[in-house]
Amino acid sequence: MAIPFDLTGKNILVTGASSGIGRAIAIAAAEAGAFVVLVARNEERLQETAVDCGEKCAIEPCNLSDLDKLPRFVMNLAKKYGVFSGLVHSAGIGDWRPLKMIRAANLLDAFTVNCASAIMLVKGLSAHGCFDEKGTSAVMISSVAGGLGVPGQIAYGASKGGLETAVKCMALELIPLRIRVNAVAPALIQTPLLDAFEETGSQLSDAWQYKHPSGIGNVNDVAAAVLYLLSDASRYVVGTTLCVDGGYCAQ
């Protein structure tokens, strides 16, 4: 993958780096010159990502559901590796179930990992000595489901919608610190989860195919958008959500 945006000399923290979109972002950031701190629960899969990142990475397993510990977690990482120029929150829970099957635990899990953990991570990033005072970028991975109604994605869509509102609020608060906060909202992306679905012999419905005029995206499509937001090329982009959806939201 050709990397158009230089991240040389930047420390970037990436959550969800053990698989899918987060893994692709971490690898792309390392290829673009950044030192990447890889965060996820599964240390074994983080090791696999680290192999592709080469020497420009470190592994830091973490349970993002422990919200109160996240600010201190980021602060400790900054002490260990140096101030961060970027943070990408790609960890998330996909919850597909109709309203009649939703339980309180489903809602709490989705909001905790998809939205609340992002807020607490940025809180830690904004602490003194944790961010690059010359300019820092925080990028949240949202979803087109955060702005559009999708049957069966109530918990997931609501948590991503909340995340996008939080992005705007945090962006305005953190402008004085030169911390930019933005989101990237993909449509359906070919990830290991979708691969597993297709390996069962299942097929995406014609309706889903129709909603993606450019076809199903891949993880590098999202990674490229994130690299733009992490780089100095996007210095004037603040508090927005960039759709990476192949025309999904244009319909």
Query: Which of 81, 156, 210, 236 is labelled catalytic?
Result: 156
Q: What pLDDT was estimated at residue 2?
A: 46
pLDDT in tens, the chain (251 residues): 444 689 999 999 999 999 999 999 999 999 999 999 999 999 999 999 999 999 889 999 999 999 999 999 999 999 999 999 999 999 998 878 889 999 999 999 999 999 999 999 999 999 999 999 999 999 999 998 898 887 888 999 999 999 999 999 999 999 999 999 999 999 888 776 665 545 454 555 556 666 777 778 899 999 999 999 999 999 999 999 999 988 888 88
Give 68: exposed, middle or buried? Use CB within 10 Å, 0-12, 13-18, 19+: exposed
Whether the pTM exceeds 0.85: the reply is yes
- Tokens linked to 190: 């070919």
Catalytic residue status for 210: no
CATH fold of 11-190+219-243 reads Rossmann fold (3.40.50)
Q: What pLDDT was estimated at residue 131?
A: 98
Enumerate the domain spans of the chain.
11-190+219-243
Q: What pLDDT was estimated at residue 117?
A: 98
Strands (E), 57-208: 57-59, 86-89, 136-141, 179-186, 189-190
Would you call 9 helix, strand, or coil by DSSP?
A: coil
Sheet of 35-39: strand order equals 57-59, 35-39, 11-15, 86-89, 136-141, 179-186, 241-244
Q: What pLDDT was estimated at residue 153?
A: 86
